[in-house]
A and B are shown apart, each in its own frame.
Chain A
C-alpha cells in the first residue's frame, strides 16, 4: 500500500467505535446484532486478499481509478497564491467519489449473503452510485430520497430508476437527507435479515463511520503518492467540502500523520448564520448558532438542534451538504485542532462553480464548489511556494437546473 500508518489515525476509532468522545452506537436493539455482523464481516473481508483483489479490480476497471491529480495552472495563475492541484474524483464512473464506498460495501453485502441493498441519498450521487453497484453485482436496490431533494436533483432520480433501483420519496420532516436516512433505517430495521444498509457517508452507528472512511481513504492515498511524484514533497493544505464528511475524510486520512499538512473542511454556510439557515455544524467560532454535541441517527457528534434537543432544519443550496450532523471523526479532528472547519455561503459556492467552469473547464458539483470557494477566499493570503490539493468530489451535471437559475 502507501504511507506509514499515520499516528493519529491508529487509535481511532476504539473498539466501541469512539473517536475521542464522539461516535458510538445509538440504535434500537434490533439493529445491534446486524451491526455486529457487519463489523465481523468487515474484519474478515479486510483480512482476505481475495476481497481486496476483487475491490481493486472493480475500482480500476469499473469505476476508473486511479483518478488524476491535475495541476490547475489557470486557477493557480488567477488566484496568484499557492500551486493548486485538483483531485479529480468527479471523473469517476457515476460522477463522484461515492462509488468508492458503494463498491466496497456492495462486495461486503454479497459476502454476507444479502440480496438487497438499501440506501439514502441527498444530492442523488450516493443513490446513483448504489444503484449502479447493485446493478453490477446483481443486487436489488431501494433508495430513499427526500421529496425536496427529488425536485432539485431530478436527473439523478431518472438515472437511479434507469439502473433498476426503486426510488422512494420521503415526505416527512424537512424532506431532505436526514429524513431519507430515517426512512432507510426503518426499512433496514424491518428487513434486517435480508438487506444491507449501504450508508453513504461517515455517519451512523459504528462501524459505518469507519467502514466508509476506509473505503474512501484511497482518495488521499493516491493523492499523496501523486503529489510526491509531481512536486517531490507533501502539500501544505488540503481542501474538501464536508456534508457528512466522506470525501473530506477520504482525502485527509492518509495525511493525518503528516504534521505539516493543514486540512480545511468547508461546510455549507447557506444563507445566514441563525439556526435553520445553514449546515455549519462546526461553525460556532464564526457565529453560526445551534450546534452542540448530541445523538442523531446512531452517532454522538455535533448536531444542529434546538435547546430542547429537537433536530433543527438546515439549509444549503447543495443537497449533499444539507444535513444537521457531521461525521464523528470530523468532530474529533475539529476538537483536536488537527483539521480546521470553515464555511462559505450558497452564493459563494455558485460563484466558485462558475469560476472553475470558466477557468479550468470543470463544472464541479455544488458540494465540491464549496471547497473551491473556500480556497478562493484564502488563496490570496498564501505564498506562491505553497501547495494545495483540493478534492473535486463530484461533477456538476446533476446541478444544471439549480445552476441555470444563476448563470
Chain B
C-alpha cells in the first residue's frame, strides 16, 4: 500500500488525501457549517460542469460532490434523475468525469468527491478507477449502493490510492450498523436526513437532531447531512446539528433552469452564496461542538 511518504504519491503536486480533512478542520476552528455541493457531472455537458464547479468553489462551497451519471439511479428523485438523463444523452462516461476532475484540479484546491453508483466503478475495475481518480486529483469516493458489508475490495483499492471512502448512514441504520459504517468511513460521514430519495423538501425531519446525536456516538468524523436540504432556513437549523449540509437537487434545479453554461454557473454560485451566508450567520454557529 502506498502512503503519503512513498515516492509515488509525492510525485503528484499535492497528496490528495487530506484535503477533505483539512477543510473540515478549518471549518471546525471557525465554528462554521460547511457546505457540500452536489453537481451531476456532464449536465448538460462536461464543459458546463467545469464552469459550474469552479463558480461553486469560488462562491464558497467547501466540498464538491461530482455525480457520476448512471442509467438506473434508484436513490435519486426526479430532479437528479433528469440531470443524469441529460448527462448520459451528452455521452458522459466515468472516464470523461475523471478527465474533468483533472482539469478542475489544475484550477482549484476545493475537495472533490466522486459520487457514483457502484456498477460504473466496478466495470472500470476498482483498482484502475482508484488509480485514475487519485491521479486526477479526486479526494474521496461515495458509492450510493455500496454498504460496508460488500465494500472490502473497494475499500482496499481506494485506500491504496489515498482516497477517502465516504459511506452513508440512514435513519433506519441500527446502532450496530452505525458502528460498522463509522469503522469504514474516512473524510466525513454522510447522514441521510430522512427515508426517501434525493430532492428538495419543505422542512427538515423533526427527529434529525436525535439521529445526528446517535450517529456522533459512533464517530468523530465530520457529519454531513443531506437529502432534502435546499433552502437557507434548512442550513441555519443544521448549524447546531451537523458539520456540513449537502445540497444537491436545489443546485441541479438551478442548472436545469439555465439556458447556457455561464448562466448555470452564475445561478449555482448565487444559491451557494445565499446558503453560505445562512451558514455563517446567527444560529448557524455551532452550539454543541463535537469533542
Contact = CB atoms under 8 A, between A and B. Distances in A.
A172 interface: yes
A303 B74 CA distance: 16
A388 to B, nearest CB: 37
Given A26-B145, A29-B147, A310 B170 contact: no
A31 B147 CA distance: 10
B95 to A, nearest CB: 8
A296 B177 contact: no
B122 interface: yes
Nearest to A312: B71
Given A29-B192, A186-B197, A309 B146 contact: no
B119 interface: yes
B108 interface: no
A28 B145 contact: yes
Interface residues of A, number: 37
A272 interface: no
B145 A172 contact: no
A30 B123 contact: no
B169 interface: yes
A32 B145 contact: no
A244 to B, nearest CB: 15
B281 interface: no
Contact of B71 (A34, A298, A311): A311
B144 interface: yes
A279 B144 CA distance: 27
Contacts of B124: 309
A25 B147 contact: yes
Contacts of B171: 30
A186 B74 contact: yes
Interface in B191-248: 192, 195-197
A310 B195 CA distance: 26
A29 to B, nearest CB: 4
Interface in B142-196: 144-147, 149-150, 167-174, 177, 181, 192, 195-196
Interface stretch (A46-54, A187-195, A376-384): A187-195
Given A34-B172, A305-B123, A189 B145 contact: no
Contacts of A30: 168, 170-172, 192, 195-196
Contacts of A29: 147, 167-170, 172-173, 177, 181, 192
A297 interface: yes
A312 B117 CA distance: 15
B26 interface: no
B123 A308 contact: yes
Interface string B87-103: 01000011100000000
> Which has the most chain B C-beta neighbours within 10 Å: A30, A178, A296?
A30
A164 interface: no
Contacts of B118: 26, 295
B120 interface: yes
A185 B197 CA distance: 10
A189 B195 contact: yes
Interface of A: 16, 24-34, 172-173, 178-179, 182, 185-186, 189-193, 292, 294-298, 303, 305, 307-311
18 contacts: A28-B145, A29-B147, A29-B167, A30-B170, A30-B192, A31-B172, A33-B172, A182-B74, A189-B195, A189-B196, A189-B197, A191-B195, A295-B122, A307-B123, A309-B94, A309-B120, A309-B121, A310-B88
Interface of B: 70-75, 77, 81, 85, 88, 93-95, 117-124, 144-147, 149-150, 167-174, 177, 181, 192, 195-197
